């Protein structure tokens, strides 16, 4: 499969340690986007799939903000 021009640009942006959407620096090499873009992506995906924010007793693991990890709190905080 031939990689498109946009995919090549995006891959190079991620490899250089920058967010492919806004160009800001990412936190670490494990994340594919900055915190704001990852949060927006998460909200869009939740809205598209009809999934709400995490609730105690619900499915899945608790967000990092609920678990008390302050360094990742901005990425997983739901303001709704």
What residues line the site for Zn ion (CB under 5 A)? 19, 21-22, 34, 37
The distance of closest approach from Cβ of residue 20 to Zn ion in the complex, given in angstroms and rounded to an integer, is 8
The distance of closest approach from Cβ of residue 57 to Zn ion in the complex, given in angstroms and rounded to an integer, is 32
Cβ distance to Zn ion smaller for residue 27 or 64: 27
As a whole number of angstroms, the distance between CA 66 and CA 56 comes to 9
Residue pair 34/19 in contact by the 8 Å Cβ criterion: yes
Cβ distance to Zn ion smaller for residue 2 or 15: 15
């Amino acid at each position: 499969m031939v990689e498109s021009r946009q995919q090549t640009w995006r891959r190079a942006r991620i490899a250089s340690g920058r967010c492919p959407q806004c160009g800001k620096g990412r936190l670490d090499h494990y994340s594919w986007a900055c915190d704001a873009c990852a949060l927006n992506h998460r909200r869009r995906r939740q809205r598209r799939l009809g999934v709400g924010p995490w609730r105690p007793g619900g499915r899945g693991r608790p967000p990092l903000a609920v678990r008390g990890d302050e360094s990742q709190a901005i990425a997983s905080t739901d303001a709704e």
